[in-house]
Each structure stands twice: as structure tokens, then as C-alpha cells.
Structure 1
Amino acid sequence: MIAAIGANNELGHGNDLIWRIPADMKRFREKTAGHPVIMGRKTYESIGRLLPNRTNIIISREVEPFLVSHPELAMALSESERVSGSQNEIPGPPFGGRNDIGSVVDSIEKAIDQAKSQSGSEEIFIIGGAQIYTLGLPLADKLYITKINSQNPIADAFFPDFSEFTKVVFKESHNDDGLEYEFLELER
């Protein structure tokens, strides 16, 4: 899992990030490149596109309506792929042979199963949102956290409690224009 969170585990507000820290964005790109990423429907919609150089796996409770509302994904599916999938899952890569597309599934378990069969699956990244982090946390063994030493009172999405991740593998402090934050790698 990878996330940037505030002092009270704030993730976002209004389906958007609270903080946009260039060094954090760079770290996200470097850590996740070449690996499968799992995201919820809302996270996909907030990003507005598939992330390049990663197999993107999107979780939506209702796969077909999601694809209808996102023709850019639906068009990438051949008719044979659509027919071979169940109503609850559109089969995994490739959607149209591109390495940035993976699958749309209806559960965290299916997403992880899809991710395990992908290139770079020695490390699978859950990238949000709040509901997907909550579902995925019990299955995670490592967290990449950017912990921002600031609070945001308007946050409406929060990262779940991760107090069982007590082993600090890496810690690096930063200060960008008065905004203090740490890059952390944590294990159970």
C-alpha cells in the first residue's frame, strides 16, 4: 500500500488529494512503476486516466455500469473478452494489449488475484481510496507512507488505523517551504 496522509490520517477531501507534494508524487511514481496498482472506482475517476507503466486494476461493485460510464475502458475490451467475463469481472490483461490497463473487478480479493499474475507482481500497490485501503490493509505486509505533519479539518477521507505496522524499515524527514513530512516504509 502507498499513501500520503496527514497527522490524523487524512487522505483527501471531495474525492481529491489534500496535499500535492512534488517529492511525494515523484516517490509514488518511482515506487509503483512497473508494478500492478489496485484502485477503487473513485480513485480512478479522480485521477481521470490510467497510470502509465503499471497494470491498473480497478475495483467497482458494479463492473458493467462502471464500464458503460467509462467508454475509454470499455472500448479497449474486445467483444470476445467481454463475452468471456462474468457479470462481476472483466478479465485481466491485456485490455487491448497495453501494459497500463489491467482489469475491472468487483472485490479486493479478485483484484489481488489479478495482480499476482502480472509482471512486477513481487510488489503490488494498493493506491486508494479510503474504502479500498480499509479492505486491503488486513492483506498488506508493507506500507509506504508519506506522513505529513499537518492537519486538515475539512478532510472527509481517512486512512485506516495501521498501528500494527510497528517495524520501521525506512524513515526520511523532509521540509518543503515549511511543510514537514516523512517518508516511511513500515512492516508488521
Structure 2
Amino acid sequence: MPVIAIAIVAANGVLGDGEKQPFEFPEDWARYKRVTLGHPMIMGRATHDAIGRWLPGRTTIIVTRTPQAVELPTDGRADGRAVASLDEALALARSLDDTVYVAGGGQVYAQAWDELDELDLTEVHADAEGSVVLPEVDPAVWEEYRREPRGAFDFVGYRRRARS
């Protein structure tokens, strides 16, 4: 039952400025949709707000201090839940599917880091401004197993090395 972080990250580790990501590539968004479709995604409230809508075809689980304040989708195209902790989000996501995606932001990635089995990163070949960063991808912990060059960025997969 893999828990996978999915993110687009600048060469200097920046994910964004707390409101938006610095890079948008149509091919990355299409891949994100294809990969996450049908699976639960865990994200923080700010990340969900930055996306601006509930994503259809998957269950989005928002981690927030005030889950009762989240307006859940009602149109039937998307499923949304709100919980007060990452532990609650992981338990809920695992009850829904065998594959779980953690989709940001920086605090959620940091909290989930030790629970992750894989990283599915779009690594951009440029630095970016911003204060939200991905935790360090330490080669002693993470083994690269896939790299798909795309010009300005690569799609890269990492697996956690054996836990001690």
C-alpha cells in the first residue's frame, strides 16, 4: 500500500511561495491528472485553496485545523473530505484505496516524509523564488528508479531504500 508524494519542484527545492507554484507545464498537469485519477490525495488547506477547485475523479482529503469550515463538494463530480490531522488523513486514505498520494504543501510533505514509500517528482531545471520547500531528497534514503527527461524538467521517481 504505497504512500507517494507527488510534486513539482525547482532545482533549489522550492515548491512555491505559499500561494502558488512557480512553474506550470501542461504536460505536468496532464500527467498529474493521469497518475492521481481514482486515488485519494492528501493536501493542506492552502494547497487546496491554491488549486481553486475540487479535482474530479479522486477523493481529496484536506488537512486543516478547522475541518468543519471546509466547504465540501456537492456536485457529484469530486469527493472531498476534511480532517484535523495527517494521521486521520492517512487512515482515511488507506481505507479508500491501495495507493495514496500526498500532494502538498510544504508542511504536509514534511509531516508525511517518514510515512512515504515513493516520491513522484517533476524536477524543474531552474531555480525559483519562494519559502515553501520540499524536504531534502537524501540519496542515502531515496533511490532514483525512473527518470523521463522532458527538456525544461524531468519526471523522476524515487523509492525509499530499506528501512532500518
The TM-score by the shorter chain falls in which range? 0.7 to 0.9
**Residue number among 147, 150, 157 corresponding to 1:171 in the alignment:** 147
How far apart are residue 14 of structure 1 and its match? 4.3
Unaligned runs of 5+ in 1: 77-95
Identical pairs, percent: 30
Distance 1:173 1:137 in 2: 25
**Residue number among 106, 112, 136 corresponding to 2:112 in the alignment:** 136
* Runs of 4 or more above 4 Å deviation: none
- 1:82-161 equivalences under 5 Å are 98=76, 100-118=78-96, 121-152=97-128, 154-161=129-136
Q: Which residue of 2 aligns with 1:59?
A: 63
Distance 1:115 1:99 in 2: 18
Q: Which residue of 2 aligns with 1:31?
A: 35
**TM-score calculated relative to the size of structure 2:** 0.88
Would you say how many aligned residue pairs link Structure 1 and Structure 2?
A: 155
How far apart are residue 99 of structure 1 and its match? 6.4
Distance 2:25 2:141 in 1: 24
Distance 1:169 1:122 in 2: 21
What letter corresponds to residue 41 of structure 1 in structure 2?
R
Distance 2:85 2:103 in 1: 15
Matched, 1:21 2:25: yes
Distance 2:57 2:93 in 1: 14
Mapped contact 1:168–1:184 kept (Cα < 8 A): yes
Residues 116-152 of structure 1: per-residue CA shift (max 9 Å, x gap): 111xx22100111111111111100001001111001
- Which is greater in Rg? 1
What letter corresponds to residue 142 of structure 2 in structure 1?
T
Unaligned runs of 5+ in 2: none
**TM-score calculated relative to the size of structure 1:** 0.77
How far apart are residue 169 of structure 1 and its match? 1.9
Mapped contact 2:118–2:157 kept (Cα < 8 A): yes
- What is the root-mean-square deviation in Å for CA atoms of aligned residues? 1.7
Matched, 1:186 2:161: no
Distance 1:43 1:115, change over 3 A: same
